[in-house]
Amino acid sequence: MAFTGVLFPATATGAPHRLRHLHQLCPKPRRLSSTTRTLALPSSADLPVLDAPVALAAASSVAALAAALSLSDPERRRRQQAEDVGGGDKEVVRDYFNNTGFERWKKIYGEATEGVNRVQLDIRLGHAQTVENALSMLRDGGPLAGLSVCDAGCGTGSLSIPLASEGALVSASDISAAMVTEAERQAREALADRPDLQMPKFEVKDLESLDGKFDIVVCLDVLIHYPQGKAEAMIAHLASLAESRLVLSFAPKTLYYDLLKRVGELFPGPSKATRAYLHAERDVERALEKVGWRVRKRGFIRTQFYFAKLVEAVPVGLA
Ligand SMILES: C[S@@+](CC[C@H](N)C(=O)[O-])C[C@H]1O[C@@H](n2cnc3c(N)ncnc32)[C@H](O)[C@@H]1O
């Protein structure tokens, strides 16, 4: 399947029932093309119902916006978060995804609609499209049955479970013990009547500590929690674990999304505890090239509050 430029609409061939259902639940983006798609800024999930493009338009001048941004001082908040948990980026992220973030993201990635606001539903839709598009990318290479796949930063198992249900041999890990427990619970439930399949092997581990070799390594919506320097090392490590393919999603850094993120940071809320870092697509490609990999397929997923670049990389020798 051709997989270039913009991701195909999720309503195209093979779109799961869950996505169609979500389309009915989520209002259509008001300003965005219906043919483009989403990646999620975790911070958006914590916002009250806020139409960010509208918020942007409401900022009457660049000067007013700049003043507001400097008042919000996200850097100071980040330092405070790190001090609170006695560590750096990773400790903040681990703490967040074991506590408030776990509850919030379990809800977003779940299926219930009660108590889920419009922003969260929209992010659910965007994330489901990222998972579906990643699966399509992977299936493009042929059947997944029997292939070893590492799902690094597996969350509640949104990707691991469908991979296992197609017969892949999945090693799923996450820095958050709460996430891993939930993913394992969901996998047992989803695969209960499929004794022919291998349950994913779940592990509480940060991706930097992963070792071994896998046919495919996938890491969806994790890099957003790390600044470029750290993300670069993570990409290199993930590539070292993969034999043939590495699939990554990240929030692309563009002027527009940078501004959108900064507007989001104006509404921190008491429990809005993760940092969100955008990454320039070129920087991600450069990190891959440094370790001998090149991007072979790419896509872009976007809804109203979620936006993600999805890339599939292969070793240069295999390209
Ligand atoms: C936004 S969620 C995405 C979860 C999953 N990949 C998905 O797309 O459904 C980010 C996940 O990354 C995990 N995470 C963050 N930093 C990590 C790290 N250094 N190593 C492993 N997991 C990490 C978090 O605990 C969280 O479950």
Structure confidence at residue 251 as a pLDDT band (50, 70, 90): very high
Structure confidence at residue 122 as a pLDDT band (50, 70, 90): very high
What are the tens digits of pLDDT across the range 252-298?
998 777 777 777 776 655 444 457 899 999 999 999 999 999 999 99
> In the block, which residue shows the tokens 């776990």?
102
Specify if 2 maps to a domain.
no
Provide the β-strand partners of residue 148. 169
CATH number for the domain that contains residue 176? 3.40.50.150
Specify if 286 maps to a domain.
yes
* Mean of all residue pLDDT scores within the chain: 79
> Which residue segment(s) compose the domain that 192 sits in?
17-318
Q: Answer yes or no: is the C-beta of 44 below 6 A from any ligand 1 atom.
A: no
**Higher pLDDT pick, 242 / 79:** 242
Q: What region, left, alpha or beta, does residue 181 occupy, with left being phi > 0 and alpha being psi -120 to 50 degrees?
A: alpha
Q: How far is CA 16 from the centre of its chain?
A: 19
| Residue from 39, 222, 224, 250 whose mutation best tests the ligand 1 pocket (most atoms within 8 A of CB) | 222
Total structural domains within the chain: 1
Measured from the Cα of 153, ligand 1's closest atom is 22
Report the percentage of the chain scoring pLDDT > 70.
69
Specify if 12 maps to a domain.
no
Q: How far is CA 3 from the centre of its chain?
A: 19
What are the tens digits of pLDDT across the range 10-37?
322 233 434 434 433 333 333 323 223 3
Specify if 154 maps to a domain.
yes
Q: Answer yes or no: is the C-beta of 174 below 6 A from any ligand 1 atom.
A: yes
Q: Answer yes or no: is the C-beta of 175 below 6 A from any ligand 1 atom.
A: yes
| Residue from 97, 127, 131, 235 whose mutation best tests the ligand 1 pocket (most atoms within 8 A of CB) | 97
* Residues 174 and 154 sit within 8 Å (Cβ to Cβ): yes
Overall residue count recorded for the chain in this entry: 319
Whole-number Å distance, alpha carbon 308 to ligand 1 midpoint, is 15
Specify if 10 maps to a domain.
no
Q: Answer yes or no: is the C-beta of 179 below 6 A from any ligand 1 atom.
A: yes
Closest protein CA for atom 20 of ligand 1:
206
Structure confidence at residue 169 as a pLDDT band (50, 70, 90): very high
Whole-number Å distance, alpha carbon 155 to ligand 1 midpoint, is 5
Using a 10 angstrom Cβ sphere, with 0-12 exposed, 13-18 middle and 19 or more buried, the burial of residue 270 is exposed
What are the tens digits of pLDDT across the range 201-240?
999 999 999 999 999 999 999 999 999 999 999 999 999 9
Question: What is the pLDDT, as a whole number, of residue 191?
Answer: 97
Report pTM: 0.80
Question: What is the pLDDT, as a whole number, of residue 4?
Answer: 26
Measured from the Cα of 151, ligand 1's closest atom is 6
Whole-number Å distance, alpha carbon 287 to ligand 1 midpoint, is 20
State the CB neighbour count (10 A cutoff) for residue 179.
26
Query: Rg (Cα) of the chain, in Å, rounded?
Result: 19
> Which among 218, 174, 222, 169 is positioned nearest to 197, based on CA atoms?
169
| Residue from 174, 181, 184, 205 whose mutation best tests the ligand 1 pocket (most atoms within 8 A of CB) | 174
Specify if 11 maps to a domain.
no
- The CA distance from 221 to 238, in Å, is 14
Specify if 4 maps to a domain.
no
Specify if 308 maps to a domain.
yes
Q: Which of 40-54, 96-110, 170-184 has the least mean pLDDT?
A: 40-54
Q: Answer yes or no: is the C-beta of 74 below 6 A from any ligand 1 atom.
A: no
pLDDT at 69 over 80: no
Structure confidence at residue 77 as a pLDDT band (50, 70, 90): low
The phi and psi torsions of 46 (rounded to 5 degrees) equal: -95, -5
> Which among 179, 181, 163 is positioned nearest to 225, based on CA atoms?
179
